[in-house]
Structure 1
Amino acid sequence: MIFQQAKATIASHHLIEPDEHIVLGLSGGPDSVCLFHMLLRLRQSMGIHLYPVHVNHGLRPGAADRDQRYVEELCRAHGISCKVVSADCNALARELHMTSEEAGRKLRYDAFYDMARRISAKMAAEAGGTPEEFARHVKIAVAHNADDQAETILFRVLRGTGTDGLAGIAYERKERGFSVIRPILDLPRTDIEAYCRENDLHPVEDHTNQQSIYTRNKIRLELLPLLEREYNENIRAGLRRMGKIAAADSDYLQTCAEESLQKILREKTEDEIVLEREGLAALHEAIRHRILLRCFAELGLQSDVSAERIAAADRIIGGKQAPKTVEFPRGYRLTVARGMVRIGTSKNRRE
């Protein structure tokens, strides 16, 4: 039953097709081990190729090495090679001025994308062509579940997110030329644990998941149980339902934004996007803001764009005096001059 539900999610969202190459983030915890076992079953019926990747963050002395050994033995028992990446997460966090949680996520996804690039490059070398042509046959699977979805939506609500943020975690997103998929996003944690028991799987447990040391842990361990007890015993289902509604609305608005973008796009390079100012200013702010965020994301600024910066951009886009510039994080900027809106980095500024 649980496996059939996961298969239904995969089919309804077209997450996995026959003969595709799947890079799997395999931590050794219940979620990723459950997904690993399900993908093994799909390998038999769909002919997919599986490439587990385990990242040892070096954060939990002893336990991190235990997790690595467990994952290596699990893969060996099923005749699959496992790629292990070891790194100093704390050192990276200090170097990039971020939390260890953020640094860990960066390390994991860097490792996943590196494996995906290697696979597509190998396919191109064997069959002839470019790695980009084969990238659509390579996907990255991660094991977010239904409880993660509820926690993420609540976390974003607390930070004052917009409609797109309320959509929560997507079943599939495209980044760095590859699709990241979440095949067990509809499974609650209790079902995942039940699946592991039913199939005699013995995943390892990260004790830090039971400690309120990160905001997300506090939401899972403290805030959600409080809301369930005192306000709504079905709060998790309610949050997920809100996420699905917001996702549908967001998808429609993004489609509208894409159509509008094509009408006002005047120039596009790897380093700069140029839009016609009058047409951009005439759009509804819901569409205009999505276009701006889309442009910055395509140029490499995919986060840290505050509502205040977007509001400042609105003021100069709708104003009559130019040239004017709004600075964005990491050296990006938006400049209005000669009837055009130029989005790029400081080295591309044109007065």
Structure 2
Amino acid sequence: MNIIGKFLETIRVHKLIEKKEGIVVGVSGGPDSICLLHLLCKLRENFGIKVFVVHLDHQFRGIEAKKDAEYVKEICERLGIKSYIFSYDVSQYSKEKGITFEEAGRELRYKLFEEVAKETGASKIAIAQNRNDQAETVLMRLMRGSGLEGLTAIDYKRDGKIIRPLLDITRKEIEEYCEENDLKPRIDKTNLETIYTRNKIRLELIPYIESNFNSKVIDALWRSANLLRDDSDYLTKAADEKLRDIAISSNSNNYSLDLKKFSKLHISMKKRVLRKVVNEVKGNLKNIGLKHIESIIKLANRNSVGSKIDLPGHIIVELGYNSIDIKTEEILEEKIKNLDFEYKLYIGETTPIKDLNASIKVEIVSPSERHNNQKDKNTIFIDYSKIKGGLFIRNRKDGDKFHPLGMRGTKKVKDYFIDEKIPREIRNKIPILCDEKGIIWIVGYRMSENYKIDIKTDKVIKITYMKVV
């Protein structure tokens, strides 16, 4: 079957394009995207589709990038297609967002695709990934330790909108098509450099496997991805059914699962159900990894009512009497965030802390009294001579650091709270005792190494925190 036949078969089998649809095509100017554009243009008459092109200049390759943009604009004019040419400093954008250059480029491209789709009324966005890309992605994810869903690699269709009609076509077939149709695509020389993982796989690993193990490794990996996708689709549907069975209640901010029914599920199904629930509550699975899903399973196995864990993205998981409750805490977080207090303390006095319905007492005592209160987490003894300036108690601030007793070096208070698994909803309510130099005590948890009593101490201060009952 020739390339046009494969292209049409992929569209038909996976129902990628409907008649009279508008399609936004991402076109870099390279062989893959130019081939995709040219093939889509051949469908205009029979399918009645409208094609729109988006090109992004990453401002990374200087004059070569400008030539790419000119080439894309020129070929669109030749084909009678409207083009949208954009230019962004992707390198600067990646620094501002704290993400890699590749992630930044992808994020910007998809943002532009969506904007143009909205402007033109297009219902599909076509991406030019091919069979080789599929094979490379399988290898990348295999080496990273991906699960079944990850090894299905690239989908033909995502979210009913993103389509990849070239996934059954090899890079060699694409290059031959471009040559036969005199398309003269642009070649990005950075794709020939082995500084990126994907390029190393493409230029070094796959050729090595082809020479030494399997000359048709591209086809084998592509075939494996499709087989795994079938299995993954089946398990996804099974997880949907299980979730409906074990869900006690659900809405956009809260999901309660029947603990007894959940405990009887196979471990594979437990993980899939939990990923679905977290995705539903959080809105995505960004920063949610296997360790987070496994931590929920451990929580369920613990069978300790009231136990909680925090997940990235303001998600809290709590064990009820008969349920696992997964919920967002954005509203609660906002209330806590607004809590702001600070009180000056005086030696020999007890100071009320109205914000916390508590009080704190500061007094000078004999060193011997220290031994009578060593196990009281709400009492500490510090060296008077090490205090600088006045004493005060407040809630935590951004950037707070201290030197935890018994540990080497300083630690961010935020990191300390995370390491100690202190629930997010109470962190801003934990009082912090300070002097003008730094943090003395995270009340009820850990004091600072810098204020401890030693053999040179001749004057001791006892500090007692008391909740008002």
Same fold (TM over 0.5): yes
Question: Any runs of at least 4 consecutive aligned residues in structure 1 with deviations exceeding 4 A, and if so which?
Answer: 348-351
- Please say if residues 271 and 348 of structure 1, whose CA atoms lie closer than 8 Å, have aligned partners that are also in contact: no
Residues 228-259 of structure 1: CA deviation (Å, up to 9, x unaligned): 12222222121112111111110100010111
**Which residue number corresponds to residue 296 of structure 2?**
313
**Which residue number corresponds to residue 127 of structure 1?**
none
Aligned AA for 1:150?
A: A
- Please say if residues 15 and 181 of structure 1, whose CA atoms lie closer than 8 Å, have aligned partners that are also in contact: yes
Aligned AA for 1:139?
A: K
Of residues 231, 235, 243, the one that matches 1:261 is 243
Of residues 246, 267, 287, the one that matches 2:228 is 246
CA distance in 1, matches of 2:84, 2:51: 11
Aligned AA for 1:77?
A: R
**Which residue number corresponds to residue 125 of structure 1?**
none
Residue 311 of structure 1 and its aligned partner are, at CA, apart by 1.0
CA distance in 1, matches of 2:70, 2:315: 43
Question: Does residue 51 of structure 1 match 2:52?
Answer: yes
Aligned AA for 2:201?
A: I
- Give the gaps of 5 or more residues in structure 1: 121-136
Residue 271 of structure 1 and its aligned partner are, at CA, apart by 3.5
CA 1:169–1:236: 2 relative to 1, 3 Å: same
**Which residue number corresponds to residue 335 of structure 1?**
318
Residues 257-278 of structure 1: CA deviation (Å, up to 9, x unaligned): 1111222334443444333333
Residue 348 of structure 1 and its aligned partner are, at CA, apart by 5.6
**Which residue number corresponds to residue 185 of structure 2?**
203
**Which residue number corresponds to residue 123 of structure 2?**
138
- Please say if residues 25 and 112 of structure 1, whose CA atoms lie closer than 8 Å, have aligned partners that are also in contact: yes
Structure whose alpha-carbon radius of gyration is higher: 2
If asked which structure has higher relative contact order (CA below 8 Å, sep 6+), I would say 1
CA distance in 1, matches of 2:319, 2:60: 46
CA distance in 2, matches of 1:320, 1:25: 51
- Secondary structure, aligned partner of 1:82: strand
CA 1:48–1:266: 2 relative to 1, 3 Å: farther
Q: TM-score, normalised by structure 1?
A: 0.89
1:1-351 alignment runs, 5 A limit? 1-120=2-121, 138-174=123-159, 179-298=161-280, 299-347=282-330
Residues 315-348 of structure 1: CA deviation (Å, up to 9, x unaligned): 1123311222332233333333343333343326
- Give the gaps of 5 or more residues in structure 2: 333-424, 427-469
CA distance in 2, matches of 1:110, 1:297: 21
- Secondary structure, aligned partner of 2:140: helix
CA distance in 1, matches of 2:66, 2:250: 47
- Secondary structure, aligned partner of 2:162: strand
Q: TM-score, normalised by structure 2?
A: 0.67
CA 1:51–1:279: 2 relative to 1, 3 Å: farther
- Secondary structure, aligned partner of 1:144: coil
CA 1:237–1:335: 2 relative to 1, 3 Å: same
- Please say if residues 119 and 138 of structure 1, whose CA atoms lie closer than 8 Å, have aligned partners that are also in contact: no
Say what the alpha-carbon RMSD is for the aligned residues: 2.0
Tell me how many residue pairs correspond in the alignment: 332
**Farther-moved stretch of structure 1 (5-14 vs 273-282):** 273-282
Residue 15 of structure 1 and its aligned partner are, at CA, apart by 0.7
Aligned AA for 2:70?
A: R
CA 1:54–1:273: 2 relative to 1, 3 Å: farther
Residue 219 of structure 1 and its aligned partner are, at CA, apart by 0.8
Residue 199 of structure 1 and its aligned partner are, at CA, apart by 1.2
**Which residue number corresponds to residue 465 of structure 2?**
none
CA distance in 2, matches of 1:9, 1:151: 20
- Secondary structure, aligned partner of 2:82: coil
- Please say if residues 146 and 189 of structure 1, whose CA atoms lie closer than 8 Å, have aligned partners that are also in contact: yes
- Secondary structure, aligned partner of 1:308: helix
Aligned AA for 1:73?
A: E
- Secondary structure, aligned partner of 2:24: strand
- Secondary structure, aligned partner of 1:70: helix
**Farther-moved stretch of structure 1 (189-198 vs 295-304):** 295-304
- Secondary structure, aligned partner of 1:290: helix
CA 1:33–1:250: 2 relative to 1, 3 Å: same
CA distance in 1, matches of 2:186, 2:249: 51
Richer in helix (by share): 1
